[in-house]
């Protein structure tokens, strides 16, 4: 089985990404800032074109783990809401230029957090972050406002931005911006948008339309929620960068066209 993924960075790609990264630093911190979105619009086409032009077919292997034990595909359902599911991606040590994607499922929160602690991943922090933001959305009236007016209150997103900055929850605090490109169509075709840090509710034409995402930088993690305001967590994808994760037609298909909100750090 194959998905589209970027090969090792070429000189051309590194030059493009260095330019894009430096340009993106001048944009507002949050993708929810309207002015920031307008400024980013022109960059989106450049980012997407550069990524698509440099993509190449590479073999991908998938491994499956349940409570830290390797199992066969189909031994658990990653869409089961009772499970804590994450995805990790890394270079494949067995195939030159290939990638290895591991899908992890845990039957309890305690075992999930313990796995994160072993690997230096801030699992407990990210779980607390999502739950707090979901609870605050209800307590602050943000949900009722969105239902009535069809948009997330500016005050709520401002709170989210400050809270995320306060909590941290990133693996390495390098000072670099973590961001991604989300695609409507598989493997980077069609519509695309830059994704900065968080989105409490995806743009109306993007809700339940995301089928893949490309991540920039050496490392970031995208937590995908099926509900707005960080409810119905589906998975966090811990990714060593420069890779396009395609959902349909792969073992990641349970994520396909189901993203409504997300946090990328």
The pLDDT of residue 178: 56
Query: pLDDT truncated to tens, each residue of the chain (265 aa)?
Result: 333 333 334 443 444 454 454 444 444 444 445 545 555 555 555 555 555 544 445 578 899 999 999 999 999 999 999 999 999 988 788 877 778 899 999 999 999 999 999 988 999 999 999 999 999 999 999 999 999 999 999 999 999 999 999 998 776 544 455 567 888 876 545 578 888 889 999 988 889 899 988 776 667 889 999 999 999 999 999 876 666 788 998 999 999 999 999 998 8
* Radius of gyration in angstroms for the set of CA atoms belonging to the chain, rounded to a whole number: 18
Q: Positive or negative CA dihedral for 111, 104, 118, 198?
A: negative
Left if phi > 0, otherwise alpha if psi is -120 to 50, otherwise beta: which for 230?
left
The pLDDT, as a whole number, for residue 126 is: 94
Q: What is the pLDDT of residue 174?
A: 44
CATH of domain 2-264: 2.60.20.10
pLDDT of residue 241: 60
What are 212's strand-pairing partners? Answer: 183, 246
């Amino acid at each position: 089985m194959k998905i589209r993924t970027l090969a090792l960075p070429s000189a051309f790609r590194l030059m493009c990404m260095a330019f894009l990264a430096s340009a993106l630093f001048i944009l507002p911190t949050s993708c929810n800032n309207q002015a920031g979105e307008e400024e980013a619009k022109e960059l989106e086409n450049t980012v997407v074109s550069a990524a698509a032009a440099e993509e190449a077919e590479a073999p991908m292997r998938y491994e499956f783990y349940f409570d830290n034990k390797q199992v066969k595909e189909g031994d658990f359902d990653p869409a089961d809401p009772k499970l804590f599911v994450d995805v990790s991606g890394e270079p494949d040590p067995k195939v030159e230029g290939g990638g290895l994607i591991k899908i992890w499922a845990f039957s309890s929160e305690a075992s999930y957090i313990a796995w994160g602690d072993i690997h230096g991943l801030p699992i407990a922090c990210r779980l607390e972050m999502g739950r707090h933001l979901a609870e605050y959305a209800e307590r602050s009236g943000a949900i009722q406002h969105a239902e009535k007016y069809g948009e997330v209150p500016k005050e709520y997103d401002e709170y989210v931005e400050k809270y995320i900055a306060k909590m941290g929850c990133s693996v390495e605090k390098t000072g670099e911006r973590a961001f991604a490109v989300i695609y409507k169509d598989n493997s980077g075709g069609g519509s695309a948008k830059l994704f900065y840090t968080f989105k409490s509710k995806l743009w109306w034409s993007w809700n339940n339309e995301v089928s893949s995402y490309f991540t920039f930088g050496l490392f970031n993690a995208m937590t995908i929620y099926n509900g707005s305001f960080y409810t119905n967590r589906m998975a966090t994808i811990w990714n060593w960068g420069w890779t396009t994760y395609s959902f349909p037609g792969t073992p990641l298909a349970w994520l396909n066209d189901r993203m409504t909100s997300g946090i990328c750090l």
